[in-house]
């Protein structure tokens, strides 16, 4: 049995605390047909990232929502190590990813906000592992610039969003699922930074999360069995648009959804209640809209876990 090391990060890359789970196995993707590299006995590394996920959104977390179903992550957390107080170096996505990839603080890696200078780090996690003989693969959302720079990965299958040119996920939708909308992954019409929630227009097997896992399984089946691997699967969900598969939306929309824990430092929004930008972080939702947003958010997390 090959030794495996998997790192599951339920990452909150924008404005929230992050939770980190370290375990020896995730999703059981690599538990079957992998061969042992007996000469080095170096572990395989599976790094899974989720985007904009609250650290307490785990069924295992006593402070988390009791209605949320995450049995696989709960099992990983129980059998591995659940870091209850893990924090991002920066509350914004791109600098947090730079820190993760290099082990450097924003002051050193040159980005403290969403926009940063072009990046050419001399050392990266993937690069150091590749230099040590690992086969390194990136699948999903990298969210670094320059966009197609490899940052030490041997091979990348990139989709920083569910729309745009030179997007491997979009090209997959067009080629294999014959989706010919201008933006097939965004044809639901919901904003990628908004609070509106509704079921996704695509079937589960055509969604970004499914694509990432499908590509990961393909990599595991075709990888070099004589070398250890570093596989980084980076999911967009549960980042908006808040559009889970229909079955997961209906699983939560009629449930009792408790309010999340909000820190004492957070002040109540006292701005206008109407006419706000639906893409902005300043929102004032009534009970119905808040329930819809929360149900879709939990549904996306549940879909990832399944």
Indicate the SS3 state at residue 140.
strand
Catalytically active residues, by annotation:
93, 143
Instruction: List CB contacts of 149: < 8 A, sequence separation 6 or more.
Output: 119, 120
Q: Which residues of 112-132 are buried (b: 16+ CB within 10 A; e: fewer)?
A: beeebeebebeebbbbebbee
Instruction: List CB contacts of 108: < 8 A, sequence separation 6 or more.
Output: none
Instruction: List CB contacts of 286: < 8 A, sequence separation 6 or more.
Output: none
For strand 135-140 and strand 229-234, is the pairing parallel, antiparallel, or unpaired? parallel
What single string gives the DSSP state of each residue in 161-196?
A: SSSSSS-HHHHHHHHHS---SSSGGGTT---TTS--
Please answer whether residues 22 and 81 qualify as being in contact, where contact means their C-beta atoms are separated by less than 8 angstroms: yes
How close are the terminal C-alpha atoms of the chain, in Å? 25
Nearest Cα neighbor of 56 from 43, 70, 36 is: 70
Please answer whether residues 220 and 35 qualify as being in contact, where contact means their C-beta atoms are separated by less than 8 angstroms: no
Q: Is 58 left (phi over 0), alpha (psi -120 to 50) or beta?
A: beta
What are the φ and ψ backbone dihedral angles of 56, each rounded to 5 degrees?
-95, 5
């Amino acid at each position: 049995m090959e030794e495996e090391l998997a790192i599951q990060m339920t990452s909150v890359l924008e404005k929230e605390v992050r939770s980190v789970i370290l375990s020896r196995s995730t999703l059981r993707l690599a538990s079957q047909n992998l061969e042992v590299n007996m000469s080095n006995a170096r572990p395989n590394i599976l790094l899974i990232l989720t985007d904009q996920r609250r650290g307490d959104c785990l069924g295992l977390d006593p402070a988390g929502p009791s209605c949320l179903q995450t049995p696989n992550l709960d099992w990983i957390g129980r059998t591995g190590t659940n870091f209850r107080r893990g924090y991002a170096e920066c509350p914004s996505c791109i600098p947090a990813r730079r820190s993760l990839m290099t082990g450097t603080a924003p002051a050193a890696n040159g980005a403290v906000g969403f926009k940063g200078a072009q990046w050419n780090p001399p050392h990266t996690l993937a690069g150091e592992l590749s230099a040590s003989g690992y086969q390194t693969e990136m699948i999903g959302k990298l969210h670094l610039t320059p966009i197609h720079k490899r940052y030490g990965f041997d091979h990348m299958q990139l989709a920083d969003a569910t729309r745009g040119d030179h997007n491997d996920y979009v090209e997959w939708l067009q080629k294999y699922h014959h989706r010919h909308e201008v933006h097939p992954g965004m044809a639901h019409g919901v904003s990628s930074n908004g609070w509106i929630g509704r079921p996704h227009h695509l079937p589960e097997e055509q969604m970004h999360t499914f694509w990432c896992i499908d590509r990961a399984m393909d990599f595991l089946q075709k990888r070099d069995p004589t070398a250890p691997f570093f596989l980084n699967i980076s999911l967009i969900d549960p980042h908006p648009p808040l559009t889970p598969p229909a079955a997961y939306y209906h699983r939560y929309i009629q449930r009792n959804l408790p309010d999340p824990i909000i820190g004492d430092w957070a002040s109540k929004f006292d701005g206008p209640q109407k006419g706000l930008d639906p893409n902005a972080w300043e929102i004032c939702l009534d009970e119905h809209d808040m329930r819809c947003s929360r149900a879709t958010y939990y549904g996306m997390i549940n879909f990832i876990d399944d």
